[in-house]
Structure 1
Amino acid sequence: MTQQIFSLPDVGEGLTEAEIVSWKVKPGDAVAINDVLCEIETAKSLVELPSPYAGTVVDLLAPEHQTIEVGTPIIAIGDSAEQTVANDGGGAPSGASGGGGFPPQDAHGSPESAPESSAGRSASTAVSSPSAPVAADAASPVPVIQEPGVESGPLVGSGPKADAVKRRPRKAVSATVPPVSPSTQKATPAPQPATHPEATAETARTAQPGNGVVGLLARVLAKPPVRRIAKELGINLADVPATGARGEVTRADLESYQAQREREHDAAPTFWDHHRTAQDHRVEVIPVRGVRKATAKAMVDSAFSAPHVSIFVDVDASRTMEFVQRLKKSRDFEGVKVSPLLILAKAVIWAAARNPSVNSEWVTTESGADEIHIKHYMNLGIAAATPRGLLVPNIKDAQDLSLKELAVALNDLATTARAGKSKPADMTGGTMTITNIGALGIDIGTPIINPGEVAIVAFGTIKQKPWVVSGEVIPRWITTLGGSFDHRVVDGDLSARFMADVAAIMEEPALLLD
């Protein structure tokens, strides 16, 4: 069969490696050209890898969650027509009846065994299992369940009800009941007709103070489904208040107890979730790869190569808040999400046009010479927190967009980034970045410059504070802006003028009409 080997391509600009996050196909699947084969995570984004061939998947040559280099073979795809011929020539498919096939066999390989229903197989397995302490009675409608670590005996509360058909006592259970001591015999009431032989035996066992059966002393009445659910949830049935007619724990009791436990867990969070113990979660190891690895390297390179200088300014953003409310009510912005971040983005573009050197890059040539490249265009980056880590996609040529177009671009950028669908091209070529830490309720912070740029603006939360206006203290919407700059390019005077221009727009958005 002819096979086509597909190697990991360079899906970005000069990428050297990627991690296979998940395969979307498996051996034997038929694929067409451009069908998605897998998702890969590069240092910049999560990318769906389409198939360049049509045929049948023969083998997956690279496992999931492994970082591999570009050019490494990852999948083998065979010709679908040849695969079909090969299957047809080999006789009927496995398990199908036909002249050349074999009769169906049972689990022991006997071709003469008759098919057996699933219920029949389950019953026979329960009876013949060597680990079962007591054989299931043929007439019993309820199986006997034996818990690990507890002496053999029937499950209390799982027998027939009082008005159900009686069944004979199990000899195995009766034989295990220890003799009653004389002192206990005096305190024990006269025996009553027993309708639940196994329950009577269990009571006799737990009543013995010195019988050595520790597990049975804490035995709780509960039906098998309730015990199974409790085990899955990690609940000790002895802790659950029982409301059943015979003192058994019902499913409603279990659900109520679990709901209460979840409420307590939410009210008082711990270092581990309620499904785990402290020891299980003392140390959690997370491999550093993909976006996190790339972000860590970029931040270290930036912090130790570009000398940072940061300045901050408090801004009365009351008119920005009023302007945002007017835009939300405008028919022109109907269906478009508008926030103060839109006004800040426009302010940064406007201020950079007045101070071009903040929209530049420090470049060291191959000969070792240093140069400053001033960009007369704005690829505005927006730092976005995603489940995969911090991403900084950028809006290309943001200086050419109207206010509405910029709002749409911001919404699309955020939606795409949070969904992990940002393309590698969206992550490259940025000229300046905004980080909106105010969305998390943070007043301000010191941002680190995105590599390849010389400036970044941090946008703090907007909240009402007392503010002095014309000698009077009145409540106003106040925010704090922070800027970090590469001091090799941006001097203190330039950074101050740039931040003052940004603040001016936030205080009076009407300046954008100039």
Structure 2
Amino acid sequence: MAVFTMPSLGADMEAGTLTEWMIKPGDTVTRGDVVAVVETQKGAIEIECFQDGTVETLDADIGETLPVGAPMATIRAPGDNAPAPAEAAAPPKTPHAPKPPAPPPAMPDTDETPPASPAARALAAERGVDLAALSGTGPGGAIVMADVEAAAAPTRKPQAEPGAGLDMAAMRTAIANAMARSKREIPHYYLSQTIDLQTASDWLTETNATRAPGARLLMSALLVKATARAAAKTAQMNGHYDADGFHPASAVHVGAAIALRGGGLVAPALHDAQDLPLDTLMARMRDLVTRARGGRLRASEMTDGTITVSAMGDTGADAMAAVIYPPQVAIVGFGAPVSRPWVAGDTVCPRMTVTATLSADHRVSDGRLGARFLAAIDAGLQAPAAL
């Protein structure tokens, strides 16, 4: 038997509230299946299963707030025998009957509104779905997110409402706690390099000239890809540091920092970013932004990041020294691209440039290695067609 526990979804998480079960006793699950939805300071996170097997019991109630590591379910591995009748009769570990979730104070249940999970309510508000018109398929007839998804499919809004489903004050507190821990425990060092972006900018203009707006590439995709390629060649920038020391990662999962409407920040991972074609990478970045701002991310996206990229976009400060997100060991901050006088050969001419600032963990790397890493990013951006 394996115990499925409340996962840690980042350095800033201590507990989560179970808002929806996607499984029931007797269901067969495989690694990667979404089995539950947990509400955290960063919204509703879809929790994935990390083993194959059969659901034996559900050991947590809907609406229950559980600390990281608390048991949530028991899963019987393939080949394990089910409990014998005598065992099942003795102090059984029966599944809890899910309790109807308590609705948020601002959206109380009425005679016209059926019970719904908090996550379903947030999704309904985001998609403009009238809960009173739905029939729930959850426990006791409660409306769950699958019901809202089905109702919203034909008329989905193109964008989430600002801050939908998110407690911005709680998120800001969580971010502050994580960053305070990072600055307290990680010996940061910082290196900055100004990179000539003119070649990359010209290539983007030419590439996008015949594309529809939704298919165009953004400079951010090139920055992420160049960083991922450089990290794949520099093991000391890509991995996690814990009580046992540094563990280099075998793939580059770039955490893409996303600013949320109304405030707050998340950095979900773009898996295997070093190998993704630019068009695929751009599509995944757009998808992450949409789901992050709607408060709908997956657990693996919140925990798998091995290095983070934070970019100011087209407007903002010229440079940014970011704080490392533990347990990672590096983050690259890109300022806003700006036209500057640039020496090219024997002439001075205007060129589009960007300042890249590396914040790295001195327990794992040093300035010389960090400088080579920034140089590798620069080299990648000088050959955008090869990214």
CA distance in 1, matches of 2:288, 2:304: 15
Quickly say closer, same or farther: Cα 1:355–1:290, change in 2 above 3 A.
same
Q: In structure 2, what is the equivalent of residue 328 of structure 1?
A: 208
CA distance in 2, matches of 1:461, 1:436: 7
User: 2:191 touches 2:357 (CA, 8 Å); kept in 1?
Assistant: yes
Quickly say closer, same or farther: Cα 1:10–1:295, change in 2 above 3 A.
farther
SS at match of 1:315: strand
- Contiguous gaps of at least 5 residues in structure 2: 21-36, 48-60, 63-97, 107-116, 119-137, 142-166
CA distance in 2, matches of 1:343, 1:444: 18
Report how far residue 356 of structure 1 moved: 1.6
Report how far residue 482 of structure 1 moved: 0.7
Q: In structure 2, what is the equivalent of residue 452 of structure 1?
A: 327
Report how far residue 16 of structure 1 moved: 5.4
SS at match of 2:201: helix
SS at match of 1:461: coil
Q: In structure 1, what is the equivalent of residue 189 of structure 2?
A: 309
CA distance in 2, matches of 1:58, 1:378: 41
User: CA-to-partner distance for each residue in 1:339-388, whole Å, 9 max, x for gaps?
Assistant: 11111111111111221221122221xxxxx3221111011101111135
Report how far residue 446 of structure 1 moved: 1.0
SS at match of 1:481: strand
Q: In structure 1, what is the equivalent of residue 311 of structure 2?
A: 436
Report how far residue 63 of structure 1 moved: 5.3
Pairwise CA RMSD of aligned residues? Answer: 3.4
User: CA-to-partner distance for each residue in 1:414-440, whole Å, 9 max, x for gaps?
Assistant: 222122222333211110000012444
Compute the TM-score of the two structures, normalised by the length of structure 1.
Answer: 0.46
CA distance in 2, matches of 1:337, 1:404: 8
Partner amino acid, structure 2, of 1:404: D
Partner amino acid, structure 2, of 1:375: A
Q: In structure 1, what is the equivalent of residue 283 of structure 2?
A: 408
Given candidates 474, 489, 494, the residue that maps to 2:349 is 474
1:76-91 correspondence to structure 2 within 5 Å: none
CA distance in 1, matches of 2:228, 2:99: 52
User: CA-to-partner distance for each residue in 1:27-59, whole Å, 9 max, x for gaps?
Assistant: xxxxxxxxxxxx97403433599x98xxxx997
1:33-52 correspondence to structure 2 within 5 Å: 41-47=39-45
SS at match of 2:208: helix
Partner amino acid, structure 1, of 2:179: M
SS at match of 2:215: coil
2:15 is the counterpart of 1:17: yes
1:94-493 correspondence to structure 2 within 5 Å: 290-329=170-209, 335-364=214-243, 370-386=244-260, 387=262, 389-493=264-368
* Higher relative contact order, structure no. (Cα contacts within 8 Å, ≥ 6 residues apart): 2
CA distance in 2, matches of 1:496, 1:411: 30
CA distance in 2, matches of 1:405, 1:347: 15
- Contiguous gaps of at least 5 residues in structure 1: 1-8, 24-38, 66-73, 81-286, 365-369
Quickly say closer, same or farther: Cα 1:62–1:12, change in 2 above 3 A.
farther
- Report the count of equivalent residues: 262
Partner amino acid, structure 2, of 1:395: L
Quickly say closer, same or farther: Cα 1:78–1:41, change in 2 above 3 A.
closer
SS at match of 1:422: strand
Quickly say closer, same or farther: Cα 1:294–1:463, change in 2 above 3 A.
same
Q: In structure 2, what is the equivalent of residue 499 of structure 1?
A: 374
CA distance in 2, matches of 1:352, 1:403: 17
Q: Which stretch shows the higher mean deviation, 405-414 or 307-316?
A: 405-414
Quickly say closer, same or farther: Cα 1:334–1:461, change in 2 above 3 A.
closer
CA distance in 1, matches of 2:379, 2:275: 21
SS at match of 1:467: strand
CA distance in 1, matches of 2:173, 2:348: 49
User: 1:437 touches 1:460 (CA, 8 Å); kept in 2?
Assistant: yes
Compute the TM-score of the two structures, normalised by the length of structure 2.
Answer: 0.60
Partner amino acid, structure 1, of 2:319: I
Q: In structure 1, what is the equivalent of residue 24 of structure 2?
A: none
CA distance in 2, matches of 1:396, 1:78: 34
User: 1:380 touches 1:395 (CA, 8 Å); kept in 2?
Assistant: yes
